[in-house]
Structure 1
Amino acid sequence: MMKRNEQEQRNPQALRDETIVIHGDDSITDEKGVNPAIYYSATFQAHSASEFSEIAGTPRHPRYYTRYGNPVHERVQKIVADLEGTETALVTGSGMGAIATTILSLVAAGDHVIAQKNHYMSTTKIMDELLPKFGVDVTFVDQSDTSAFEKAIRPNTKLIMVETPANPTLVLTDLAAVCDLARQHGIIVVADNTFASPINQRPHDFGVDVVVHSATKYMGGHHDLTAGVICTNEELAERIWNTHISIGSVLSPMDGWLLLRGLRTLPMRIERINANALALAEFLENQPQVERVYYPGLPSHPQHELAKRQMKGFGAVIAFSIKGGYAETQRFVSALKLPPNAVSLGGVESLVVHTAAMWEGTMNEEQMQLAGIPANFVRFSVGIEHIEDLKEDVRQALQKI
């Protein structure tokens, strides 16, 4: 399979990530300002009846009605598609908007879906609670075992849903192996690439048909917007878009503009975040109060070799377990001074959550066990602060357990 460096060698005109985020939308030149305008309009004017007819009949036109598209959406979609190496992209009002719209576009009553045991909690709830209501069967498998995917395939299997690294356990899926298996059976593969970002991992390079993101995270980068992105080929994009305009998970023009701004610095932020997270993970492994650290960049991670094969960097999120239980974990999280105790990840500031406390309100005990979330689990999203300040803060909090 052709990897990114091979693509660049064959196409010397291919731009690198740092240039794509700045110039990937240069072909869209309908403003005079250096900084693109915010098109805060629900609808757009046609100059004649014939032009209106043409615009209204063009799928995903950016200057018809903002539920269908918007000029700032067009810019974001061009940049993210280039980063992911896909033909095109769609934007939605949230990451779950992207995931739900994609899944509902690609399956129907009587179909079968294969999903991982470890998924973001809302994705798990779609698989476990929503799809069965519409006559879609779902089989959950251990994502670290490719043979489990193969054993789960049925004649009516239409979709394999993967997420790697998975939230919050950081278990990996072998993208190349799963995609090769799916291709043999004509099954569409959808990958949630939120935890990696297109800077650290490009699932489409390994054969994934549709790549989805919560752009609220790394792409936005400042914890000030919610957005989702769907990256795929033109044929599937139109199919998904037809569902999107019915469901209406619309990205506002302002959030689209904020997302465009966040994308401009994405490679630079990811570089710093990758370095900080690896250093903090190594630090945590040597702390006596820490039971275990889960981070794909560590040699101790059981899938470290796979991580090195399919990822360029290992991302912001470190999962670790505190010695003790629920109460000790609560004390540690409460004692931290720098990272807010808040959900989300991938922004400029570090964030921390006691994972069990976060998810117990929306998942039942069986779903928690399926997701592999013990009572003493911490999810730490590393930001761009100075690493020594982060280490010192973690050190003083561990001493208060």
Structure 2
Amino acid sequence: MKHKDSIHAISTQLTKLGRNPDMQHGFVNTPIYRGSTVVFNTVDDLENSRAKYIYGTLGTPTIESLETAWSEISGAAGTVLSPSGLGALALALLTTLKSGDHLLMTDSAYRPTRTFCSTLLEKFGVEVSYYDPLIAEKIVDLIRPNTSTILLESPGSQSFEIQDVPAITKIARAHNIKTIIDNTWATPLFFRAHDHGCDLSVEAGTKYLGGHSDLLMGLVTANAETWPALRQTYDSMSMLPGAEDCFLALRGMRTMHLRIKEAERRGLEIAQWLLEQPEVKQVLHPAIPSCPGHDIWKRDFKGSTGLFSFILHPEFEKPALEAMLDNMSLFSMGYSWGGFESLIIPFDCSEYRTVTTWAPGGLALRIQIGLEDMDELKIDLRLGLDRLNRWAHS
């Protein structure tokens, strides 16, 4: 049954879901329930688990509030939590794979996911092969008799290709193959993965759900068909975040829609500005028409966020890039994103791509647009590009 709040717009839902003041003496938010042991009044209650909560790893009011809210937002049958985004991906993969299975993974996947597959999964007898993220329905040619899972990530990590998710999930379902998507960039606010046929959807709540760079969190949602297997995997591992992190995630959820819409506005403004800078060869932002898969993004997504990449012209080499980045004033260098601060890092996908060639024709940078003054962010970038020029032409 749908929650009564699902009739409301998403911004309203985010203020209502995952809390019940009537159960909390009128206080607005679910408090932090920090605990392991749950006590029972009788032997009969103990032996028959007659209690809403049985043990701390199986749920508390704080954990349940986040799980139920995220399930409603995602259009999912259920949600489980993890201490990190990578942990959530591991939970999803372990739900659908067993020894002897074959996994098809997009070549644009988050690099730590690849490492998990090439170490732990292959160690336990899972075959892993990679596919071009833009392959769409031609993925059918890569399916083997033992293919049990296809992993998608749209847009691709760092390179931002948009996959044709409905085309791939349709083929997967016809072959009884489970699909998992890393949906961290868009979140369920801009892309409801289950509505597009995905069995499992993974988000790193570390990013836009937390929103303040002080939280590690992973979430996995499942459709009705896959939910029992996901919950069983989760219960077998008891790999869950702490109560304080769940509380922070719930608090972040209340303002998530406002923040993500502002991230979209700011990201697009800086992306358009970078297109006009003479040092920039290309901008990889799904809402920019020149980005691979833009038409699919326009068809399937409700918006974009504040993370994207851009490519410099080939005349600039690493020493010039170091002169640019080492002296930025507002942009910091760091691997996460989705917080309040602006970040920028260099990257090179050619180090790990295996079935596609990463050859953008220049040095690549990934950029996260935070909440600083926009004019000052442009000045910081412009001064950095000036340093790049001076070093390159000195």
Common fold, TM-score beyond 0.5?
yes
Comparing 208-217 and 314-323, the one that deviates more: 314-323
Identify the match of residue 330 of structure 1 among 298, 322, 335: 322
Instruction: Quote the sequence identity (%).
Output: 29
Change (3 A) 1:26 1:127: same
Relative distance call for 1:36 and 1:116 in structure 2 (3 A) is: same
Relative to 1, partners in 2 of residues 1:291 and 1:76: Cα closer, same or farther, differing over 3 Å? same
* In 2, Cα distance between equivalents of 1:234 and 1:31: 30
Q: Which residue of 2 aligns with 1:187?
A: 177
Aligned to 1:133: 123
* Inter-CA distance 373–272: structure 2 relative to 1 (3 Å threshold): farther
- Of the structure 1 ranges 217-226 and 66-75, higher mean CA displacement relative to structure 2 is found in 66-75
Cα gap change, 1:82/1:247 in structure 2, threshold over 3 Å: closer, same or farther?
same
Tell me the distance in 1 between the aligned counterparts of 2:49 and 2:104: 38
- 1:20 equivalent to 2:10? Answer no
Q: Secondary structure at the match of 2:181?
A: strand
Question: Shift of the alpha carbon at 1:367?
Answer: 4.9
Number of the residue aligned with 1:376: 363
Residues 83-137 of structure 1 deviation map (CA, whole Å, 9 limit, x = unaligned):
1111211111111111101101211111111111110011111233332211111
Q: Partner residue of 1:347? A: 339
Name the CA distance, whole Å, in 2 between partners of 1:276 and 1:325: 28
Aligned ranges 1:83-98 → 2 under 5 Å: 83-98=73-88
Structure 1 length-normalised TM: 0.89
TM-score by length of 2: 0.90
Q: Which amino acid is 1:205 matched to?
A: D
Aligned residue for 2:304?
Answer: 314
One-letter identity of the residue aligned with 2:323: R
Query: Residue in 2 aligned with 1:391?
Result: 378
Query: In structure 1, what is the Cα distance between the partners aligned to 2:43 and 2:379?
Result: 66
Partner of 2:250 in structure 1? 260
Q: Provide the rounded CA distance (Å) in 2 between the counterparts of 1:396 and 1:209.
A: 46
The within-5 A match list for 1:143-154 is 143-154=133-144
Question: Are residue 302 (structure 1) and residue 286 (structure 2) matched?
Answer: no
* Aligned residue identity for 1:84: S
5 Å matches for 1:55-134?
55=49, 63-134=53-124
Q: Aligned runs of 1:275-294 on 2, under 5 Å?
A: 275-294=265-284
Provide, for residues 62-84 of structure 1, a one-character-per-residue CA deviation record: whole Å limited to 9, x for no partner.
Answer: x2222222211111111111111
1:333 CA drift (Å): 2.1
Distance across 1 between alignment mates of 2:5 and 2:61: 29
C-alpha distance in 2, partners of 1:66/1:400? 54
Q: Quick check: 1:117–1:371 contact (8 Å CA) kept in 2? A: no
Partner of 1:241: 231
Could you tell me which of 141, 156, 159 is aligned with 1:166? 156
* Distance change (3 Å), C-alpha of 1:70 and 1:43: same
Closer, same or farther in 2 for the Cα pair 1:390/1:377, shift >3 Å?
same
Task: Report the counterpart of residue 392 of structure 2 in structure 1.
Answer: none
The aligned amino acid for 2:12 is T
Question: Distance in 2 between the 1:47 and 1:371 partners?
Answer: 63
Q: Could you tell me how far 1:372 is from its partner in structure 2?
A: 3.6
- Distance, in Å, in 2 between the alignment partners of 1:225 and 1:141 is 32
Extract unaligned runs of 5+ from structure 2.
389-394
**Residues 1:147 and 1:128: Cα distance change in structure 2 (over 3 Å):** farther
Aligned to 1:218: 208
Partner of 1:48: 42
What amino acid sits opposite 2:15 in the alignment?
Answer: I
Asked whether the equivalents of residues 68 and 245 of structure 1 are also in contact (C-alpha less than 8 Å), the reply is yes
Give, in angstroms, the shift of residue 373 of structure 1: 8.1
Q: How far off its partner does 1:390 sit?
A: 1.6
Q: Which amino acid aligns with 2:329?
A: K
What is the rounded CA distance, in whole Å, between the counterparts of 2:145 and 2:354 in structure 1?
A: 30
Q: Is the 8 A contact 2:130 2:355 kept in 1?
A: no
Q: Is the contact between residue 100 and residue 127 of structure 2 (CA under 8 Å) also seen in structure 1?
A: yes
Q: Residue 291 of structure 1: CA displacement?
A: 2.3
Long gaps (5+) in structure 1? 1-7
Distance 2:6 2:263 in 1: 28
Find the aligned partners of 2:66 and 2:296 in 1 and give their Cα distance.
Answer: 30
Alignment size in residue pairs: 382
Contact 1:182-1:189 within 8 A present in 2 as well: yes
Counterpart residue identity of residue 112, structure 2: S
C-alpha distance in structure 1 between counterparts of 2:357 and 2:246, whole Å: 32
Shift of 1:138: 1.5
Shift of 1:352: 1.7
- Provide the alpha-carbon RMSD of the alignment: 2.4
Residue pair 2:222, 2:230 contacting (<8 A) in 1 also = no
* CA shift in 2, pair 1:335/1:55, >3 Å: farther
